Amino acid sequence: MKEHTLEMRNVTKRFPGVIALDDVSLHVKSGEILAICGENGAGKSTLMKVLSGMYTSKEYDGEIWFDGEKLENMNVAKAREIGIEMVYQEINVFLDGSVMENLFVGNLPGKGALVNFKELKQRTKELMDEVGVNVSPTSVCRPMSSGQLQLLSIARARVKEPNIIVFDEPTTSLTDSEVKNLFKLINKMKAEGVAIIYISHKLEEIFELADRVMVIRDGHCISDRPIKETNNNMLIQEMIGREMTDMYPHDPSPATDEVVLKVEHLTVPNPTATDINIVEDISFELHRGEILGLGGLIGAGRSESLGAIYGQYTQGVTKEVYLEGKKVDIKEPDDAIKLGIGFVTEERKRNGFVWLLPIVQNITLISLRRMLPHKWLIDFKAEDKQAQVMFDRLRIKAPSMRTLAGTLSGGNQQKVVLGKWLVNNPKVLFVDEPTKGIDVGTKAEFYKILRELTQQGISIIMVSSDMPELVNMSDRILVLSSGKIQGELTGEHRTQREVMELAIK
């Protein structure tokens, strides 16, 4: 097993109006796991784009060295030549291709134009077994879950037998069992001598896996030390530049007894199994100024319930919905929007915002009706004014409102999504995994914003798999399991233990 050492020396990367990386250095060697953490927009992804060759050596200042030799004319091809592979948070597969085609694209076994399909299927099965996904090599990828697709991406990187592999928030879409399989694979690769760079906002993962941890803040390297020489509080303070004393707001709940939203006899078919309902005849109420948490294990039907109420799913769905005491008919999302119900969905990059539109147009996307003084003409001054209010209120970090939303960090993208709904002055807001893939500091901002919204009389239903978030932010918690609401938790009973006891019924 050959030992390898990778170094990035004094890397500086500039964009118009901002320095994304300022004199950052990094090193990692074979059989070592280096964790990198920092807030959204700190420069982590930019640093990895430099490493992967997405930014060529002409686009940044600094040097990259591998095994004691300086790499000239760095680009994607050069990075792959020395064995650098990336596993991104965003799922990047050919959905209508087969599992084996995705795994071995550009690297098919065989001679010349002749593909050895027997070897292709066998190696595909071995790789998918290694990441813990039981699927046929010839299966089309589109029906696979987001977690399975992420594991497929990891297996694809494994095909190339890399010397260095970068994991960028790899567990965002994974279940607990899938995370365990991934950690086993990472430790196996470490034992094989692969150098691993692991980026995550989940500090518990960093302490479980890493040998060293590097903190980046505002484009600067703040610290780089062995994991044994730091702790949770120290990392958080270094990431955000201040002590985090209060993650969750302690304002008293403004909830009243007034019922704003009432849902009765909600039944939702299972999206992956015919003749089975994932939710069976449930009913609940949401009060004015309340955060109602929906707890339960992945697959319990929490997200599906919100989607069915909102009109995203209609086939086989039965429901009765009352808004402020009046029965309403929500057949599609536009009906919900007109009624003043907003929905911050779980997958912001899939259905939360438009990548190629600037921030200003994303924020005003839902409320354009109010900016049409004439039938077809948008009042751009009104649009800018509305967007600027949200841009400032949510403290979105970007050079300007004309910046494309797709270029923002995850936390700032989520702020844009939230701002889109707040401009529409909602009565009720659904939030599904609102802090997924977001750093600690931005999480605290979101929690403060959500509580401010309830102080204004907005009512919120929140789905969260983050147990501390669920129990600390919710005024009441309904726990779903086996298609039913297994219990309601309030007051001192809002504990992680009681949620889990109900979730596994």
pLDDT in tens, 156-212: 888 888 999 999 888 877 777 888 888 989 999 999 999 999 998 888 899 999 999
Instruction: Give Cα separations from 304 to 122, 175, 218, 267, 311 (angstroms).
Output: 36, 17, 38, 10, 10
- The predicted structure's pLDDT at residue 63: 94
For the chain, what percent of residues have pLDDT higher than 70?
96
The token pair at 385 is 């004014």
Mean pLDDT across 73-77: 90
User: What is the pLDDT confidence band of residue 363, given thresholds at 50, 70 and 90?
Assistant: very high
- The predicted structure's pLDDT at residue 169: 84
Task: From 104, 174, 164, 90, select the one nearest 138 (Cα to Cα).
Answer: 104
pLDDT in tens, 244-261: 557 788 777 788 899 999
Identity (one letter) of the amino acid at 486?
A: Q
pLDDT in tens, 280-323: 999 999 999 999 999 988 778 999 999 999 999 888 999 999 99
| 7 vs 63: CA distance, rounded Å | 8
Mean of pLDDT over the chain: 88
More confident residue, 174 or 213: 213
Mean pLDDT across 117-131: 86
Mean pLDDT across 345-368: 87
| Gyration radius of the chain over CA positions | 24
More confident residue, 497 or 112: 497
Identity (one letter) of the amino acid at 154?
A: I
Mean pLDDT across 205-223: 94
Helix 380-393 × helix 410-422 angle, to 10°: 120
Is 80 exceeded by the pLDDT of residue 18? no
Classify domain 259-503 by CATH architecture.
3-Layer(aba) Sandwich (3.40)
What does residue 117 show for φ and ψ, rounded to 5 degrees? -70, -30
Which CATH fold would you assign to the domain 5-240? Rossmann fold (3.40.50)
- The predicted structure's pLDDT at residue 36: 95
More confident residue, 329 or 114: 329
User: What is the pLDDT confidence band of residue 127, given thresholds at 50, 70 and 90?
Assistant: confident
User: What is the pLDDT confidence band of residue 338, given thresholds at 50, 70 and 90?
Assistant: very high
- The predicted structure's pLDDT at residue 436: 83
- CA 214 to centroid of chain Cα atoms: 21
User: What is the pLDDT confidence band of residue 53, given thresholds at 50, 70 and 90?
Assistant: very high
Mean pLDDT across 210-235: 93
| 266 vs 270: CA distance, rounded Å | 13
Which of the residue ranges 122-126, 306-310, 380-384, 412-416 has the most confident prediction, judged by mean pLDDT?
Answer: 306-310
Identity (one letter) of the amino acid at 210?
A: A
C-alpha torsion angle, residues 213, 72, 15, 171 (rounded to 10):
-40
The token pair at 199 is 């980026």
- The predicted structure's pLDDT at residue 426: 94
Where along the chain do the CATH 3.40.50.300 domains lie? 5-240, 259-503
**Residues with Cβ < 8 Å from 92, sequence gap 6 or more?**
153
- The predicted structure's pLDDT at residue 242: 62
- The backbone region for 41, taken as left when phi is positive above 0, alpha when psi lies in -120 to 50, beta otherwise, is left
User: What is the pLDDT confidence band of residue 449, given thresholds at 50, 70 and 90?
Assistant: very high
pLDDT in tens, 419-438: 999 998 999 999 999 988 78
Is 60 exceeded by the pLDDT of residue 1? no
What does residue 62 show for φ and ψ, rounded to 5 degrees? 125, 180
- The predicted structure's pLDDT at residue 347: 81
Mean pLDDT across 63-78: 91
More confident residue, 149 or 27: 27
Q: What is the sign of the dihedral through the CA atoms of 200, 217, 453 and 490?
A: positive
> DSSP readout, 358-380?
BHHHHHTSTTGGGG-SSSS---H
Go through the chain and tell me how many residues it has: 505
What does residue 105 show for φ and ψ, rounded to 5 degrees? -55, 125
- The backbone region for 338, taken as left when phi is positive above 0, alpha when psi lies in -120 to 50, beta otherwise, is alpha
- The predicted structure's pLDDT at residue 66: 93
Q: How many CB atoms lie within 10 A of CB 266?
A: 22
| 101 vs 93: CA distance, rounded Å | 10
Instruction: Give Cα separations from 170 to 37, 92, 198, 330, 434 (angstroms).
Output: 13, 12, 9, 36, 18
- The backbone region for 106, taken as left when phi is positive above 0, alpha when psi lies in -120 to 50, beta otherwise, is left
Contact call for residues 280 and 466 (beta carbons, < 8 A): no
Is 90 exceeded by the pLDDT of residue 106? no
Is 80 exceeded by the pLDDT of residue 131? yes
- The predicted structure's pLDDT at residue 190: 94
Strand partners, 26: 8
- The predicted structure's pLDDT at residue 2: 65
- The predicted structure's pLDDT at residue 245: 59
Contact call for residues 240 and 440 (beta carbons, < 8 A): yes
Identity (one letter) of the amino acid at 30?
A: S
Task: Report which DSSP code applies to 226.
Answer: E
Q: Which residue has the tokens 């390898």?
A: 4
**Residues with Cβ < 8 Å from 258, sequence gap 6 or more?**
287, 288
- The predicted structure's pLDDT at residue 308: 96
Q: State the chain's maximal CA–CA distance in angstroms.
A: 72
